[in-house]
Amino acid sequence: MTPLSPEEFLLIAQQHCAARGARLTELRQQVLGLVLARGGVVKAYQVLTDLQAARGPAAPPTVYRALDFLVEQGLLHRVDALNGYIACQHLECQHHGLLLVCETCNDVTEIDATDSLDQLSAAAARAGFQPRRQDVLLTGLCQSCRQPS
C-alpha cells in the first residue's frame, strides 16, 4: 500500500470524520497536519512546539485533546512504547496494527495483523486476562538501513 500524501490524508480524514458524525475542526486538522508533516513517530511536545510556532500561544491540554480525538477517530495510533503518535494508513478498515519502527531512521510501517493479534487476545482471555485494544510495536532495522553501504 502506497502511503497517502498529507493532502490526500487530510481530505480522507475530513470525509472519514463526517461519515462517523464527528467534526474535524480547524485545530484538529492543523494538529493532524503537523503530525503528518513530521512523519514517523511524533511526540505531543513536538506537536505543541509546531502549533505554537504556527498559531502563537497554545496550552498542552489543547494538543492532548486534539490528539485524543484523532486517536478515537482512528486517524492516529498512540504508540505507548515510544510515548508518541503516528498516522494510521488504513483508515477505511477496522484492524489491529503491527507497527514496525526502524531504530535508525525512525521509519514506521503499519501492517494489518488483526488475525495474529486476535489469536493473542484469545490466548490472554483463556488465561483470564482482558487486554485493551492496542497496536503492537516491533523495533528493529528497516530494509534500507540493513543494506550495506
Q: Domains in the chain, please, with CATH?
A: 6-87 (1.10.10.10), 97-146 (3.30.1490.190)
Mean pLDDT confidence for 41-63: 95
Q: Which residues are annotated as a binding site for Fe cation?
A: 96
Q: Which residues are annotated as a binding site?
A: 96, 102, 105, 142, 145
Full-model pTM: 0.78
C-alpha cell at 65: 485533546
pLDDT-derived band at 111, boundaries 50, 70, 90: confident
Assess contact for 110 and 59: CB atoms under 8 A. Answer: no
Q: Which residues are annotated as a binding site for Zn(2+)?
A: 102, 105, 142, 145
pLDDT-derived band at 94, boundaries 50, 70, 90: low
- pLDDT tens for each residue of 24-37: 999 999 999 999 99
CA distance 17 to 23: 6
